[in-house]
A and B are shown apart, each in its own frame.
Chain A
C-alpha cells in the first residue's frame, strides 16, 4: 500500500469510515477538490472505483489497459452505438489516460456562461488565479519542435501549405520518451496528471484515498451527516465483494459527467436537470495513407492542432466551429475504427506504419441524457444533430485537403461504407457521409453538462457554488457542471473550476 492510498480490492467486510468531506471520484475534479480541502485542514476521504496503476503496470497493451483503465472495460457507448463514450476508471481519473492536451477555458466561453446562464461570478479576473494554479500543477508547456513525430508534422505541413492557422499544442508532459501510448497510460509517468500532482499533495495534507471502492448511493442530502454506501470490488473491478458506509457532513460528487449523474439519479438527489443536457463533443476519426513510413505509433500522438476553423466567442454557443488534431493509437484500437473486413482489413492494417490519423472535433449543443439501466451501467442517449454532422463534414473536407496537400495517396473516413478521397476532385464524396448509428466510429472524450450549473434551479442542477439545488452539503465538482462546452479539451477547465469551487467551500 502506498501511504494514503488503501486498496479495498476483494475486502468482504470493510470497516465504516467517517470524515469531514467524502469525495467520490479521484479524477481531475475530485483529486483537485481533495487537495484544496485537505490543505485547508479538512479530514478528507476519497472513493475511487478504479485501481491505482502507475509506471510499468501501464503495460501499453490494448486489451488489458482498456479493460482496466476505462469504464465498462472500454465498452461504454451511446445506446444506439453511434458514439464510443470513453471515460476513465483509475486512480487519478481521465488524466491517466488522456492525450495530455492543455487548453484553458476561452474567455468567450466564460462570457457565454455569464450571458446565457447568469453565472455572473465567472469572470476572467475571478478565475485567473485558479487557472494559473491549474497550469502550474500541469507543468503546462508547449510541445517542442523536436517532439513532433512525422504524423504531426504531416498535418502541420499540409496546414501551412494551405495557409491555414494551426499550432503545436500545450501539454502536461515532463520527461516524455515518445512511447506513443498516452491513451492507455504512460509507463514512465511523464504526465503531470492528478495521480502525480494533486493526489500526493492531498495525501501530504492528510487525505485518504480508497481504491476499488464504488459509491452506489448517497443518503441524507438535507441532513447534517450524509451516508455514502460503498461497494468494494474484486481486484480486476468486475464484481462487488463487500460493503461499507462513509459518513460525512459534506459530500462532493466528482465521478465524471456520466457517472456523477448516474450516482445522483441512483440516490434520488437533485432536480429534473440531473442527467439531462449531456454534451459529448463527438469526434470523427479520419485516416490518411502515405507512401512513406510514418510510424505514427511512436512519439506524442496529439501534438499539433489546426485551429483555423475554431470560434471561441460564438454569440449563441460560446465555443463553436471545429478543429482538427493529429492522433494515433496502438494496433488494437486503430483496427476497431476501420470499416473493412476480411482481406481488405488485412491489407489496410498492413499499412499501419504508413498512416497518419486525425480527430475532427466539433463542440456540440447539449442533446443527450444519462439514465439508469438494468445493470450497474448507465444508459446514454444522444441525438446526433444534423447541424453537428454538417460541421463534421466540413471538418472532413478541410482535413482531407490538408493531407492531400501533405502528399497523402488516400484519405479515408472510416464509416460503413467507407468514404475515400484521392484528389481534391473527390472531396464531394464527403457530402455522402450520413453518420447513421453504428456505421461511423465516433468517439467522445469530453462529456459534460449532466449536472449543469445555473444561477436558478429552474435552469440547472447545481448553484454557482457547485451545491446541488435542494440539498445541504452535496456538491458536484467535475465536468458535469459545465453548461456548455468549456473548451476543446476539458482537463484544464475542470482543474480550474474544481480549485475555484473547493476554495470557496474551504473558505
Chain B
C-alpha cells in the first residue's frame, strides 16, 4: 500500500524526538501518564497494535477523512494492523512509536493536558494540521505517512465511492 515514509522516518532522530517526548510525559509520573492517555476499549483480535494504538489510529481516520469516515474507521485501523504485521521489524517499532508520539502530541506541543484521542474533532484536526505544517521535518513526515495510508485505504473502500461519484472498477471487480 502507498505508505510513503514509514520505511524512512529516520530512526535515530525519530527515537530521539519520540522517546524524548514520551520521557517528558513520563516525568509527570505513571499515574499522570495513565490519566493522560487513558484506557482504550478492546478493538478485537489484533496482530500488532495495542488497543490504545488502534484507538489512536481510528481517531486519525476521522481526523484525516472527516466525520464521514465514522463507519469505516475501525476497518481502516484493522487494515493498518494487518499491513504492519508484514513489515520489517524496524518499521513496526518506528510506527508504534509514532502512534504514541501522536497520542501525546497535544500535551507535548499544544501545552494542554490532553491526549490526541481526548480531543474533539475540530481540535484533533487543528493539531494534526499543525504537524502537517510544522517546521520540524519529522512531525511533517509522520503526518504525511499517516495521511497517505489512511486516505488510500479509506478511499479504496467501496462504501465510500457513491459519495465521490466513482462507479468503481470498470470490470466490476471488487478485488480481494
Contacts and interface: CB of A to CB of B under 8 A. Distances in A.
A416 B164 contact: no
Contacts of B154: 332, 335
B82 to A, nearest CB: 11
Contact of B170 (A80, A293, A298, A338): A298
Interface string B1-21: 111111111110000000000
Contacts of B171: 56, 60, 179, 187
A141 B174 CA distance: 32
Given A66-B1, A353-B166, A437-B137, A346 B65 contact: yes
A66 B156 CA distance: 11
Interface string A326-365: 0000111111101101111110011011000000000000
A158 interface: no
B5 A61 contact: no
Contact of B1 (A75, A80, A376): A75
Contacts of B151: 332, 335-336, 338, 345
Given A63-B79, A187-B173, A416-B133, A350 B164 contact: yes
A438 B155 contact: no
Interface residues of A, number: 64
Among the interface residues B7, B89, B160, B169, which one has the most CB atoms of the partner chain A within 10 A?
Answer: B7
B144 interface: yes
A108 interface: no
Contacts of B153: 63, 332
A84 B64 contact: no
Contacts of B121: 342
Given A75-B1, A81-B8, A180 B173 contact: no
A375 interface: yes
Nearest to A341: B64
Interface in A360-392: 373-377, 379-380
Interface residues of B, number: 57
A376 B88 contact: yes
Given A66-B152, A341-B147, A438 B169 contact: no
A59 B169 CA distance: 8
A181 interface: yes
Interface stretch (B29-37, B48-56, B105-113, B124-132): B124-132
Nearest to B7: A377
B145 interface: yes
Contact of A375 (B91, B152, B176): B91
Interface in B139-176: 140-141, 143-145, 147-148, 151-156, 160-161, 163-166, 169-171, 173-176
Given A341-B64, A374-B11, A376-B88, A63 B169 contact: no
Contacts of A181: 169-170
A59 B6 contact: no
B66 A346 contact: yes
Nearest to A61: B175
Interface in A284-333: 293, 297-298, 330-333
Contact of B156 (A63, A338, A341): A63
A336 B146 CA distance: 10
B63 interface: yes
Among the interface residues B161, B169, B175, B176, which one has the most CB atoms of the partner chain A within 10 A?
Answer: B169
B152 A238 contact: no
Interface of A: 56, 59-64, 66-67, 72-81, 84, 177-181, 187, 236, 238-239, 293, 297-298, 330-336, 338-339, 341-346, 349-350, 352-353, 373-377, 379-380, 416-417, 436-439
Given A59-B173, A61-B173, A77-B8, 10 more contacts: A74-B1, A75-B7, A76-B7, A79-B10, A81-B9, A187-B171, A332-B156, A342-B67, A349-B164, A437-B141
The 6 A-B residue pairs with the shortest CB-CB distance in the complex, in nearest-first order: A61-B175, A60-B169, A375-B88, A332-B156, A353-B165, A59-B175
